[in-house]
Amino acid sequence: MSRPTSPAYKTRNWPSYNEALKRRGSLTIWFDPAMTWQAAPTGKRGRQPDYSDAAIQTCLTMKVLFGMALRQTTGFVESLLRLIGLNWAVPDFSTLSRRQKTLKVNIPYRGSDGPLHLLVDSTGIKVEGEG
């Protein structure tokens, strides 16, 4: 039994093709300065958490999106916040490791035609621009 031949596509508009390939790698990350990065007091006895769930989920989302280890994630988020000009402390890898057990980071993969926008604000994390 012979295998059917796949259709041959010829690129005729190279500038448009190159721009489309460049757009596939486009990523925009928005941090809302009004986001609650520090945790609110729980009212329970003992040490209070330093970072909000949104801060931990932000770091873990970066970890999942870019396939990094926890220490690399800490450095990546630190550098992002420094580039943006926000003077927020970043959770260390042991805090991320402990808190990831209770938080779920679920990012379904969907193909995109345009750039991916990751919005981080006071309501949480949103992934926009995926068609």
Q: What is the pLDDT of residues 15-47, one digit of tens each?
A: 888 888 887 777 778 888 888 899 999 899 998
Tell me the pLDDT of the chain averaged across its residues: 83
Cα gap 89→50, rounded to integer Å: 9
| DSSP symbol at 70 | H
Using 50, 70 and 90 to split pLDDT, how confident is the model at 131?
very low
Residues with Cβ within 8 Å of 47's Cβ and at least 6 positions away in sequence, in order, are none
Q: What is the pLDDT of residues 95-127, one digit of tens each?
A: 999 998 888 656 555 565 667 777 777 777 776
What is the reported pTM?
Answer: 0.65
Our measurement of the distance from residue 77's CA atom to the centroid of its chain's CA atoms, rounded to an integer in Å, reads 10
Cα gap 37→24, rounded to integer Å: 30
| CB-facing half-sphere around the CA of 43: CA atoms within 13 A | 0
Cα gap 68→26, rounded to integer Å: 19
